[in-house]
Amino acid sequence: MIPLNPAQAVHTAAERTITEAAPQLDWWLLAPLLTVFAAGVLAVLFEAFLPQGRRRGPQIGLAVLALLTTFVLLVLQVGSVGQEGTTVAAGALAVDRTVLFFQGTITVLALVSLVLITERGDGRDAFAAQAATVPGSEEERAHIMAGSQHTEVYPLVLFAVLGMLMFPASNDFLTMFVALEVMSLPLYLMCGLARRRRLFSQEAAVKYFLLGAFASAFFLFGIAMVYGYAGSVNFAAVREAVAAGGAPIFADGGNGEPLLLMGVGLVAIGLLFKVGAVPFHNWKPDVYQGAPTPITALMASCTLVAAFGALLRVFFVPFGGSADVWEPMLWTVAVLTMVVAAVVAVTQRDIKRLLAYSSVVHAGFILTAVVAGSTDGLAGAMFYLGAYGFTTLGAFAVVTLVRTKDGAQELNEIDRWAGLGRRHPALAGALALFLLAFAGIPLTSGFIGKFAVFEAALSAGAAPLVVVGVLSSAVTAFFYVRIIVVMFFRDPGHEAPTVVRAGVLTGGVITLGVAATLVLGVFPGLVLDNLVPSQDSGPEPTAVMVSQVTADSGGE
Amino acid sequence: MEVTPHTYLAAETGAATLADGAVLSNAWLLIALPLAGAAVLLLGGRRTDAWGHWLGAALPVASFAWALAVLVDLLGRAPDARTVSVPVYEWFAVGGFTAGVDLLIDPLSITFVLLITFVGSLIHLYSVGYMAEDAGRRRFFAYLNLFVAAMLVLVLADNFVLLFLGWEGVGLASYLLIGFWQYKPSAATAAKKAFLINRVGDIGLLVAIMIMFSVLGAVSFSDVFAAVPAAGDGVLLAIGLLLLLGACGKSAQLPLQAWLLDAMEGPTPVSALIHAATMVTAGVYLIVRAGPIFEGAPVAQTAVTVVGAATMLAGGIIASAKDDIKKSLAGSTMSQIGMMVLAAGLGPVGYVAAIAHLVTHGFFKAGLFLGAGSVMHAMNDGVDMRRYGALRTKMPITFATFGLGYLAIIGVPFLSGWWTKESIISAAFGIGGTEGLVLGTAVIAGAALTAFYMSRMMFMTFFGAKRWEEGVHPHESPTSMTAPMVVLAIGSVALGGFLMLGDRFAAFLTPATGAHPHHFDVAHAFTAPYGIAALVVLVLGVAAAWAMYLRRPVAATAPEGNLVTVAAARELYGNEINEGLLMRPGQVLTKALVVIEDKVIDGAVNGLGTSVRDSSSGLGRTQTGFARSYALTMLFGAVIVAATLVVRF
| Top-confidence residue, B419 or A249 | B419
Sort out which chain A residues have CB atoms less than 8 A from B97's CB and list them.
455
For residue A291, is pLDDT > 50? Answer: yes
Residue A4 pLDDT greater than 50, yes or no: no
* pLDDT at res. A552: 52
Highest mean pLDDT: which range of A18-32, A88-102, B43-57: A88-102
pLDDT at A555: 40
**pLDDT on residue B516:** 64
Chain B residues in contact with A264 (beta carbon < 8 A): 645
pLDDT in tens, B459-468: 888 887 788 7
Weakest-pLDDT range from A498-502, B221-225, B379-383, B644-648 = A498-502
pLDDT at A14 over 50: no
Contact A524 B619 (CB under 8 A): no
A37 at interface of B, judged by CB pairs closer than 8 A: no
Lowest pLDDT segment from A534-543, B127-136, B383-392, B616-625: A534-543
Q: Is A361 exposed, middle or buried (0-12, 13-18, 19+ CB in 10 A)?
A: buried
> What is the DSSP secondary structure assignment for residue A291, as one 8-state letter?
S
Q: Does A78 have pLDDT greater than 70? A: yes
Tell me which residue in A261, A452, A455 faces B645 most closely, judged by beta carbons. A261
pLDDT at A265 over 60: yes
Q: Report the gap between the CA of A336 and the closest CA in chain B (Å).
A: 10
Predicted confidence at residue B15, as pLDDT, reads 57
Residue A153 has a pLDDT of 93
Cβ–Cβ below 8 Å for A344 and B623: yes
Mutation site for B-interface testing, chosen from A347, A348, A481, A518 by largest number of B Cβ within 10 Å:
A347
Instruction: Please tell me which residue, B605 or B83, carries the higher pLDDT value.
Output: B83
Q: Please report which confidence band the pLDDT of residue B96 belongs to, taking 50, 70 and 90 as the band edges.
A: low
Residues 6+ apart with CB under 8 A from A263: A222, A223, A224, A225, A226, A228, A229
Average pLDDT, chain B: 83
Q: Which residue has the higher pLDDT, B523 or A101?
A: A101
Q: What pLDDT shows up at residue B95?
A: 65
Fill in the DSSP letter of residue A16.
P
Residue B45 has pLDDT above 90, yes or no: no
pLDDT value of residue A11: 43
Q: Are strands B17-18 and B84-94 parallel, antiparallel or unpaired?
A: parallel
Q: What is the mean pLDDT of chain A?
A: 87
Q: Among A378-387, B53-62, B256-265, B492-501, name the most confident range.
A: A378-387
In this predicted model, what pLDDT tens digit does every residue of B203-244 receive, in sequence order? 899 999 888 888 887 888 888 888 888 888 888 899 999 999
Residues of A in contact with B633 (CB under 8 A): 279-280, 282
Please tell me the distance from the alpha carbon of residue A310 to that of residue A321, in angstroms, as a whole number: 17
Q: What is the pLDDT of residue A12?
A: 46
Nearest-by-Cβ selection for B641 from A210, A268, A286: A268
Does residue B7 surpass a pLDDT of 50?
no
Which string of b and e fits A431-456 if b means at least 16 CB within 10 Å? bbbbbbbbbbbeebbbbbbbbbbbbb
Pick from A264, A280, A448: which is nearest to B634 by CB?
A: A280
What distance in Å separates the CA atoms of residue A37 and residue A25, rounded to the nearest whole number? Answer: 16
pLDDT at position A123: 65
Rounded to whole angstroms, the Cα distance separating B163 from B220 reads: 10
Could you tell me the pLDDT band of residue B321, with boundaries at 50, 70 and 90?
confident
Q: Looking at beta carbons, which residues of chain B come within 8 Å of A475? A: 612
Confidence of residue A539 (pLDDT cuts 50, 70, 90): low
Average pLDDT rounded to a whole number, residues B5-11: 39
User: Is residue B474 within 8 Å of residue B394, measured between CB atoms?
Assistant: yes
In chain B, what percentage of residues exceed pLDDT 90?
A: 10
Q: Indicate yes or no: CB of A329 within 8 angstroms of CB of B644.
A: yes
Query: Residue B622: its chain A contacts at CB < 8 A?
Result: 282
pLDDT at A107 over 60: yes
A283, A448, A475: residue with CB nearest B630? A283
Look at residue A364 and tell me whether its pLDDT is greater than 90: yes
CB contact under 8 A, A325 and B637: no
Round to whole Å and give the CA distance between B42 and B176: 13
Chain A interface, best mutation among B617, B645, B648, by max A CB count within 10 A: B645
Higher pLDDT, A290 or B134: A290
Tell me, yes or no, if B93 comes closer than 8 A to chain A by beta carbon: yes
> Nearest-5° angle of CA B370, CA B374, CA B379?
140
Give the confidence band of B475 by pLDDT, cuts at 50, 70, 90.
confident
Reported for A502-505, long-range contacts at CB under 8 A and 24+ positions apart, including other chains, are A502/A121, A502/A401, A502/A427, A503/A119, A503/A120, A503/A121, A505/A115, A505/A116, A505/A118, A505/A119, A505/A121
pLDDT at B14 over 70: no
Name the pLDDT band for B387 (thresholds 50, 70, 90). Answer: confident
- Mean pLDDT, residues A150-177: 94
Cβ-Cβ contacts under 8 Å for A90 (sequence gap 6 or more): A23, A24, A556
Give the gap in angstroms from C-alpha A556 to the nearest C-alpha of chain B.
32
Residue in B with minimal Cα distance to A214: B631
Is residue B1 scored above 50 in pLDDT? no
Q: What was the pLDDT predicted at A19?
A: 62
Residue A365: C-alpha distances to residues A476, B493, B618, B623, B641 (Å): 12, 65, 23, 22, 18
Residues 117..136 of A with a Cβ closer than 8 Å to B: which?
A: none
How many CB pairs (< 8 A) connect A and B?
111
How many helices and strands (H and E) does chain A possess? 23, 4
Question: Average pLDDT, stretch B140-161?
Answer: 90
| Residue A95 dihedral angles phi and psi, to the nearest 5° | -130, 110
- Based on its alpha-carbon atoms, the radius of gyration of chain A, rounded to whole angstroms, reads 24
A280 contact B CB<8A: yes
CA distance A294 to chain B (A): 22
**pLDDT higher than 80, residue B324:** yes
CB spacing of A269 vs B634 below 8 angstroms: yes
* Contact between chains at A329 and B620 (C-beta distance less than 8 A): no
Lowest mean pLDDT across A140-154, A470-484, B615-629 = B615-629
Region A469-493 average pLDDT? 88
Across residues A527-552, what is the average pLDDT? 66
Chain B contact for A462, CB < 8 A? no
Q: Which residues of A touch B647 (CB under 8 A)?
A: 328
Residue B183 CB partners (closer than 8 Å, separation 6+): none
- Is the Cβ of B632 closer than 8 Å to some Cβ of chain A? no
Window B:290-349, CB contacts with A under 8 Å: none
Nearest to A456 among B95, B638, B645 (CB): B95
Is the CB of B640 less than 8 angstroms away from the CB of A332?
A: yes
Q: Please identify among residues 599-628 of chain B the ones whose CB lies closer than 8 Å to any CB of chain A.
A: 612-613, 615-617, 619-620, 622-623, 625, 627
Could you read off the pLDDT of B328-382 as tens digits, one per residue?
A: 888 899 999 999 999 988 888 888 888 889 999 988 888 898 889 888 888 887 7
Top mean pLDDT of A382-396, B114-128, B159-173 is at A382-396
Nearest to B633 among A279, A452, A455 (CB): A279
Q: Measured between CB atoms, does B563 come within 8 Å of chain A?
A: no
B616 to chain A: which residues are within 8 Å by CB? 343-347
pLDDT for residue B12 is more than 70:
no
pLDDT at residue A556 greater than cutoff 70: no
Query: In the prediction, which pLDDT does B13 show?
Result: 40
- CA dist B506 → B304, B440, B516 (Å): 22, 20, 8
Chain B CB contacts of A282 below 8 Å: 622-623, 629-630, 633-634
Q: What's the average model confidence in pLDDT over B526-539?
A: 84
Q: Write the residue in A206, A333, A459 that is nearest to B95 by C-beta.
A: A459
pLDDT tens, residue by residue, A33-65? 999 999 999 999 999 999 888 899 999 999 999
User: Which of the residue ranges A414-423, B114-123, B425-434 has the most confident prediction, judged by mean pLDDT?
Assistant: B114-123
Residues in chain A: 556
How distant is the Cα of B621 from the closest Cα of chain A, in angstroms?
Answer: 9
Average pLDDT over residues A460-486: 91
pLDDT classification of A333: cutoffs 50, 70, 90: very high
Min Cα separation A277/chain B (Å): 10
Max mean pLDDT range (A531-535, B334-338, B540-544): B334-338
This prediction's pTM: 0.75
Ranges A307-316, B159-168, B330-339, B564-573: which has the least confidence = B564-573
With 60 as the cut, is the pLDDT of residue B65 above it? yes
At residue B53, the pLDDT reads 83
- Candidates A275, A288, A344, A361, partner chain B, best to mutate (most B CBs within 10 A): A344
What was the pLDDT predicted at A536? Answer: 53
Which pLDDT belongs to residue A97?
Answer: 86
Over 90: is that where the pLDDT of B426 sits?
Answer: no
Whether the predicted pLDDT of A86 surpasses 80: yes
The pLDDT of residue B3 is above 60: no
Least confident window among B151-165, B320-334, B525-539: B525-539
pLDDT of residue B518: 64
Q: Is A336 on the interface with B (CB under 8 A)?
A: yes
- How do residues B147-156 score in pLDDT, each as one tens digit? 999 999 999 9
pLDDT band at B8 (very low <50, low <70, confident <90, very high): very low
Compare CB distances from A285 to B92, B93, B623 and report the shortest one's residue.
B623
pLDDT at B596: 76
